[in-house]
Structure 1
Amino acid sequence: MTKITPEVKVKMPMEAVPPVSADVSFVSNTFPKYKLGPDNQILEEPMEENHGPALKEVIEQEASNLSEQHKRLSVRDLASKFDKNLAAAAKLSDEAKLREIPSLEGHVLLKKLRDALESIRGNLTGKIKEDVEKAISMVEALAVKLTQNEGELIQEKFEVKKLVNFLKQASEDAKKLVNQEKSFACAEIESAGAVVLRIGEALEEQEKAFQASKRQDVDELVEEVQEARRIKLLHHPSKVMAMEHELRALRDQIREKSMFSIKLQKELTRSKRDEENKSRSYMLDGSETLGSCLRVQPCSDEVPHISKCSFQWYRLSSEGSWRELISGANRSIYAPDPFDVGRVLQVDIVSNGKKLTLTTDPIQIVSGLRSHVESLLRKSNADFNVTISQMNGQDHSSHSVHAFHVGRMRIKLCRGWITKAREIYSPSMQLCGVRSDMSNAAKALFWQARKGLSFVLTFESERERNAAIMIARKYALDCNVVLAGPDDLV
């Protein structure tokens, strides 16, 4: 275009130029630069920005890559690759749709620009009119160029759709292959499971057959033994049968005589005790078993009161040749100790200068105590709930519950985190049943942890007290220490 000098002044009516619609959106903020070639052809200047290869080249490259990798990809990888390419093709199709909008906006803009130039040309003359005509020809050429670009875009869009359909079909084929392979794998797994079941059934049948054959062998062996016995009896039938009948008769007679002898002994002992109690002034009250309490009771009101008598309990030896003094047992009440089980107890009563001796039967252990002790010995230590009745010979005011731990190496008395005593088994330690006239003497024991520190502990039951004594003596004996009462012969 020629340059217009400032001397030329042309008044352009504003009404002749139609305004550009505000709905038009431009791809860029600058107007594209063009050059006119021969025959007024528009030559597009090369763009400085590089937008990469063309869409057609990209599609051809991807298609070639897919065809090359088709043979070396697995079915699952091929399916995933098809899905990715399908997504890429869909994205390209969306981009092509988005590019249609600027092309339509370009047509609208060119049409409006051409109409504006046509309206201006009617009001101009001279050189400026020629320039406007050239601009109109450039706009028309630009419209032709835009139409050609739209044709290429339509062709590319057709190829993209074609590729999308191809990729969809390929993806469906790949999915079919995946499902087919999956069905084949499931069928193989089911067949393998059926084989495993058949093998298991065969093993079970084999085991049953083995057990049946083993049982049959045992039955045959028993039959052979019985047959041997029968053959043996056939050789000496009368002698063997007579001996068996004699042995059975002798056993029955011995059993009857032993039961009758035990019954007579019990009746004789009971009659002797009744006669002694009738002739004596005092008697023993209480069960002669471990866990009970033996009391000396007057037989009549004519004898002196128990408070005016003196007592001393003794433990007879197993042979009955001598008796052992039970130190501290000088009251009218005595609770048997586990040491007394199987032995006879005696008490000497001195009243008005006269001495009277009462004798018990052997002390029996209560049923279930030994099994209870054995169950406690299986643990690392045994725990009991106790209350402190006396401490160092003085009554203890507090009756709070303490824990009495009997372990393999030591005994501990504590309440929560407060430890009253904790001592290992030593010769200075003493443990026995209480030997005073306490009301609950059968539940109490005397424990001397060390010299200068002793306790009288009351348990929840007689069984717990006797179990604690038996367990402590067992653990102490394992440590080469014998736990007994004061001045006991051990």
Structure 2
Amino acid sequence: MTKISPEIETKMPMEAVPPVSADVSFISNSFPKYKLGADHQVLQETAEDNQGPSLKEVIEQEASNLSEQNNRISVRDLASKFDKNLSAAAKLSNEAKLREVPSLEGHVLLKKLRDALEYLKGRFTGRNKEDVANAISMVEALAVKLTQNEGELIQEKFEVKKLLNFLKQASEDAKKLVNQEKSFACAEIESARAVVLRIGEALEEQEKVTEASKPQDVDGLVEEVQEARRIRLLHQPSKVMAMEYELRALRDQIQEKSVFSIQLQKELTMSKWDKENKSHSYKLDGSEALGSYMQVKPCTSEVPQVSKCSFQWYRLSSEGSWGEVISGANKSIYAPDPLDVGRMLQVDIVSDGKKLTLTTNPIQTVPGLGSQVEALLRKSNTDFNVVISQMNGKDHSSHSTHSFNVGRMRIKLCRGWITKAREIYSPTMQLCGVRSDVSNAAKTLFWQARKGLSFVLTFESEKDRNVAIMIARKHVLDCNVVLVGPDDLV
């Protein structure tokens, strides 16, 4: 016999199950599908539709594209590319923020679902209770899976934020570089325009002169040539040769007397210097010429050493009628500046409360220096190899070689692609020979690029240092600026 039991329908009161909060909302209409694997492991089923690459893959792809294109795109394209990537990173950041909402809603839903299943587990018995327990374990596994996804989301969000900050900084640097190059280009264009205007004016003046000057009569020129030939035939060749020999002899005599006069002048200067030093305790040692340096030394061992004395150098006129203080030149060593050529130098020595004054002859220039400067002025830029000895008054640790580029509109100090300073000529810029007792003082100059940024640069030779100063002072005249040392009179 078959026993038929009546069907008993179990109704669960609606108020017993905790309702899902009405505040919970989902961005997508479908919930991810999961299945229970071995050992109650929750596995997520793959979605049929392809959602595209992940956020991490997109970030890596963009970073690799930027690295490949960094060396072959222009500054303006680089700036626009950074702006596009910045907007893309901002969009990815917004998407990452939107993905935080489903994560929070999933936690709320899983908690309410688990509470409901716990309530049912207490109501059911037997097989139904085991099914409810399996469902609870699946919900807990889903919560763990959701927590792992949330951790990955936080890591992706951190990477997106890091990339966003990098792109913002790179975009600002690119815009700054574009503006700087634009200003340099405008200055070059204005300079070229002024040169073109000057050339046009010169051509117009030449055309006016050509039109004003009438061509001479050909017959008149022929007559003048014939008259010149007739006069030349009238002269006796022997007398002409005798006159040439007399002129050569006179030139030789003048040259010998000039050499003798220079020797007498040197002997007179030395005798005068010896007479003065008999009563002096200190003397100036060194050549009184550009490219050398002068140093105060004691004449006897009875006087105090130079380290216990104070000094101040002055720049006098060629006649010695007036003078100016050389600011910062208060050491025992001074290397003449191109501004000192043709002028005398004076140093005041204070020792044991007594003041002693020593004066030099007019500073002489270096032979061939002017012609080299004139040749280099025809170029738009001139490079010199230098070593940074000091930066902002402090010793520079690196002794690597840098490039000191003197141009028509600006001065640039760099090493390869690294630029230390790049400044357009301005009233705040200063350039002169170094005025301290550093080693190789004749090879060293002081350059203040702008207020708050100064360098002490050492050149390969004394000639390079003086040429760089003279070229910069020639170029700066086109910008209506005077380039001298601190507190120098202009």
TM-score by length of 1: 0.50
SS at match of 1:447: strand
Taking the aligned partners of 1:454 and 1:376, their CA distance within structure 2 comes to 25
1:342 maps to what in 2? 342
Q: Which amino acid aligns with 2:449?
A: A
CA distance 1:257–1:387, shift in 2 (3 Å): closer
| Distance (Å, rounded) in 2 between the aligned partners of 1:306 and 1:280 | 14
- Closer, same or farther in 2 for the Cα pair 1:275/1:428, shift >3 Å? same
Counterparts of 1:379-418 in structure 2 under 5 Å? Answer: 379-418=379-418
How has the CA–CA distance of structure 1 residues 369 and 258 changed in structure 2, closer, same or farther, with 3 Å as cutoff?
A: closer
Map 1:243-322 to 2 at 5 A.
260-322=260-322
Rounded Cα–Cα distance in structure 1 between residues aligned with 2:335 and 2:257? 35
Q: 1:404 to 1:259 in 2, by over 3 A?
A: closer
**Pick from 227, 237, 244: which aligns with 2:233?**
227
Question: Could you say what secondary structure the match of 1:431 adopts?
Answer: strand
Question: Aligned-pair distance for 1:257?
Answer: 6.0
Give the number of the structure whose alpha-carbon radius of gyration is greater. Answer: 1
**Counterpart of 1:472?**
472
The residue aligned with 1:160 is none
The alpha-carbon deviation at position 463 of structure 1 amounts to 0.9
- In the aligned structure 2, how far is the partner of 1:251 from the partner of 1:475? 40
Rounded to whole Å, the distance in 2 between the matches of 1:423 and 1:248 is 55
CA positional deviation for 1:343: 1.2
Pairwise CA distance, 1:480 = 1.1
In the alignment, the residues of structure 2 paired with residue 248 and residue 458 of structure 1 have an alpha-carbon distance, to the nearest angstrom, of 48
Between stretches 305-314 and 363-372, larger displacement belongs to 363-372
Query: Which whole-Å deviations, capped at 9, do the CAs of 1:66-114 have from their partners, x for residues lacking one?
Result: xxxxxxxxxxxxxxxxxxxxxxxxxxxxxxxxxxxxxxxxxxxxxxxxx
RMSD: 3.3
For residue 438 of structure 2, what is the aligned residue in structure 1? 438
Shift, 1:227, TM fit: 2.6
Structure 1 counterpart of 2:457, one-letter code: L
Secondary structure at the counterpart of residue 437 of structure 2: coil
Partner of 1:424: 424
The Cα shift of 1:380 comes to 1.2
User: Is 2:463 the counterpart of 1:457?
Assistant: no
Whole-Å separation in 2 of the counterparts to 1:287 and 1:259: 20
1:323 CA displacement: 1.1
Change (3 A) 1:368 1:251: closer
Give the Cα–Cα distance (whole angstroms) in 1 for the partners of residues 483 and 348 of structure 2.
26
Shift of the 255–221 alpha-carbon distance from structure 1 to 2, 3 Å rule, reads same
Cα distance in 2 between the residues matched to 1:486 and 1:350: 23
Matched letter for residue 454 of structure 1: S
Within a 5 Å distance, the mapping from 1:366-381 to structure 2 comes to 366-381=366-381
Q: Secondary structure at the match of 2:402?
A: strand
Q: 1:39-50 maps to which residues of 2 (within 5 A)?
A: none
Residue of structure 2 equivalent to 1:147: none
Q: What one-letter code is carried by the residue in structure 2 that aligns with 1:329? A: A
2:134 alignment counterpart: none
Q: CA deviation at 1:361?
A: 1.5
Letter of the 1:283 partner, please give it: K
For residues 33-432 of structure 1, the aligned pairs below 5 Å read 223-229=229-235, 260-432=260-432
Gaps of 5+ in 1: 1-216
Please give the alpha-carbon distance, in whole angstroms, between the structure 2 residues aligned to 1:366 and 1:340.
Answer: 12
TM-aligned CA distance change 1:470 to 1:248, over 3 Å: closer
Q: How far has the Cα of 1:375 moved from its partner?
A: 2.5
Aligned partner of 2:481 in structure 1 is 481
Structure 1 CA distance for aligned equivalents of residues 432 and 476 of structure 2: 13
In the TM superposition, residue 293 of structure 1 has moved relative to its aligned partner by 1.3
| Structure-2 residue corresponding to 1:63 | none
How far apart, in 2, do the equivalents of 1:266 and 1:290 lie? 18
The offset of 1:267, in angstroms, is: 1.7
Assess, with a 3 A threshold, how the Cα gap between structure 1 residues 226 and 339 changes in structure 2: closer, same or farther.
same
Partners of 2:252 and 2:459 in 1: how far apart? 47
How many residue pairs get aligned? The number is 268
Structure 1 residue 372 displacement after superposition: 2.2
**TM-aligned CA deviation for residue 452 of structure 1:** 0.9
Letter in 1 for 2:414: C
Please give the secondary structure, in 2, of the residue aligned with 1:473: helix
Overall identity of the aligned pairs, in %: 77
Following the alignment from structure 1 to structure 2, what is the Cα–Cα distance between the partners of residues 306 and 246? 57
Q: 1:398 to 1:245 in 2, by over 3 A?
A: closer
Partners of 2:325 and 2:465 in 1: CA distance = 23
Distance in 2, matches of 1:297 and 1:428, equals 36
Residue 472 of structure 1 and its aligned partner are, at CA, apart by: 0.4
Shift of 1:249: 9.9
Once residues 224 and 297 of structure 1 are traced to their aligned partners in structure 2, the CA distance between those partners, rounded to angstroms, is 71
Unaligned regions of 5+ residues in structure 2, if any? 1-222
CA 262–385 in structure 1, closer or farther in 2 if over 3 Å, else same: closer
Q: Alpha-carbon deviation of 1:279?
A: 2.2
Structure 1 225/317 Cα, relative in aligned 2: closer, same or farther at 3 Å?
same
* Match of residue 218 from structure 2: none
Q: Provide the rounded CA distance (Å) in 2 between the counterparts of 1:260 and 1:486.
A: 42
Question: How big is the shift at 1:360?
Answer: 1.3
Code of the aligned partner of 2:397: S
- With over 3 angstroms needed to count, the CA separation of the structure-2 counterparts of 1:449 and 1:267, relative to structure 1, is same
Aligned-partner Cα distance in 2 for 1:256–1:412: 49
In the TM superposition, what is the alpha-carbon distance from 1:353 to its structure 2 partner? 1.0
- Return the offset for 1:278: 2.5
- Paired letter, 1:438: V
Deviations 1:152-195 (A, max 9, x none): xxxxxxxxxxxxxxxxxxxxxxxxxxxxxxxxxxxxxxxxxxxx
Closer, same or farther: CA 448–255 of 1 in aligned 2, 3 Å: same
Which is further off, 367-376 or 265-274? 367-376
Q: How far off is 1:247 after superposition?
A: 9.8
Question: TM-score, normalised on structure 2?
Answer: 0.50
State the shift of 1:220 in Å.
7.9
Question: After superposition, what is the alpha-carbon deviation per residue over 1:370-404, rounded to whole angstroms, capped at 9, x for unaligned?
Answer: 23222222211000111111111111111111111
Q: Is the 8 A contact 2:318 2:362 kept in 1?
A: no
> 8 Å contact 2:344–2:362 — kept in the other structure?
yes
Q: Cα gap change, 1:479/1:276 in structure 2, threshold over 3 Å: closer, same or farther?
A: same
